[in-house]
Amino acid sequence: MKVVITGGAGFIGGQLARRLTQLGQLTGPSGKPEKIDAITCFDMVVPDKPFAGLDARTEFIAGEISDRATVKKLFDRPDLSVFHLASVVSGGGELDFDLAMRVNLDGHLHVLESARALGSRPRVVFASSIAVFGGKGMPKQVGDNTKQVPQTTYGMTKAIGELLVNDYSRKGFLDGRSARLPTVIIRPGKPNKAASSFASGVFREPLNGVPCVLPVGYDAVMPLAGYRTIVEGFIRLHEVDGGALGEDRAVSLPSLDVTVGDMVAGLKRVAGNRHLGEITVEKDPVIERIVASWPTGTQYERALKLGLPKDTHLDSIIKAYIEDFLGG
């Protein structure tokens, strides 16, 4: 079978491709385990240098997800699964509404329509976000039964994405699942336009010996998950029997709910003798407003019942990053 990963040149997309390469198989549209003979990582640009841990089965294709014909070409065989991760992020969506609509709404529809056109009812795993939640009436703990009143265009398009995945699944056009992600850490490389970007930066920059300027205070609370756990969550959600998901195919993935202060303390615990870049706070009102509009905790009983994984401790997430990206 073939696996299409949109946003496949991104950090999570690349990690997912690597894990799928290791595993070598998934449940295909037939409902039976099938060998993965092709992984297509679709993204805006092809990466400069190949990702570690991939082999000849993986191909990178560059293109615009907002172009239906481009997306449709990726869906060229019935024995196919999709992990749809491509997205304009939260801060980016606030800066460019129309871009967010083209990528996150039109692009999402192109993926769903292309999957539907196969006729094989393929499995589609969509990356949603806790940014679907917001508003003054939002409970402190959000979950699968919480009314969605997003306060960013990003969150709005993700909420719409969940509704579309549900209805395309209900109609039997595809077998969809939406993974509602907390903030995923620790992303290597450079900061991005996500308002949550600092939640990776607070670990990454100091560990690289460079200073980190936080746009929010130490008391800001964020539901976090490590990337290893999220990649595993995507794959397990793909493998869950569709019938077990029922009418609402969107599942809040488990999170650790920690303050920025907890993050800094965790970093210092794990770093040991490493020299750490200085951490300072320079509050950014735009980022503060976005982060304050997000929930501070998640309910995820359903995810655990479905067998999805949960991080055990913040320290393990930091250790995994050091192992994967800083040579242990």
Q: Does 129 bind its own copies (CB under 8 A)?
A: no
Pick one of 247, 272, 282, 285: the residue that binds its own copies (CB under 8 A). 247
In whole angstroms, the minimum distance from the beta carbon of 163 to its own copies comes to 5
Query: Do 191 and 208 form a contact (C-beta atoms < 8 A)?
Result: no
Strands 212-214, 297-298: parallel, antiparallel or unpaired by DSSP? unpaired
Q: Does 90 bind its own copies (CB under 8 A)?
A: no
* CA distances (Å), origin 106, targets 63, 301, 319: 14, 32, 38
User: For residues 137 and 272, which CB has a smaller minimum distance to its own copies in the complex?
Assistant: 137
- Only segment of 52-60, 68-76, 165-173, 219-227 that touches its own copies (CB under 8 A): 165-173
Q: Does 67 bind its own copies (CB under 8 A)?
A: no
In whole angstroms, the minimum distance from the beta carbon of 129 to its own copies comes to 14
Q: Does 244 bind its own copies (CB under 8 A)?
A: no
- Only segment of 2-10, 27-35, 146-154, 308-316 that touches its own copies (CB under 8 A): 146-154
Q: Mark 171-190 with x for binding to its own copies (rule: CB under 8 A) and - for no binding.
A: x-------------------
The answer to whether 227 is a known catalytic residue is no
Query: Which stretch of DSSP H or E encloses residue 285?
Result: helix 285-292
Question: What residues from 221 to 240 belong to the interface with its own copies (CB under 8 A)?
Answer: none
> What single-letter DSSP state applies at residue 191?
-
Q: Does 275 bind its own copies (CB under 8 A)?
A: no
**Cα separation, 169 vs 122, whole angstroms:** 10
Query: Which stretch of DSSP H or E encloses residue 81?
Result: strand 80-84
* CA distances (Å), origin 31, targets 101, 106, 120, 239, 286: 34, 29, 11, 9, 46
**Cα separation, 169 vs 286, whole angstroms:** 37
Q: Does 35 bind its own copies (CB under 8 A)?
A: no
Pick one of 22, 32, 48, 136: the residue that binds its own copies (CB under 8 A). 136
- Exposed, middle or buried, 301 (CB in 10 Å: 0-12/13-18/19+)? exposed
Pick one of 33, 53, 135, 211: the residue that binds its own copies (CB under 8 A). 135
In whole angstroms, the minimum distance from the beta carbon of 105 to its own copies comes to 8
Task: Name the 3-class secondary structure at 316.
Answer: helix
Query: Which stretch of DSSP H or E encloses residue 82?
Result: strand 80-84
User: Which residues are catalytic, by number?
Assistant: 154
Binding site for its own copies (CB under 8 A): 97, 134-137, 144-151, 153, 156, 159-160, 163-164, 166-167, 170-171, 246-248
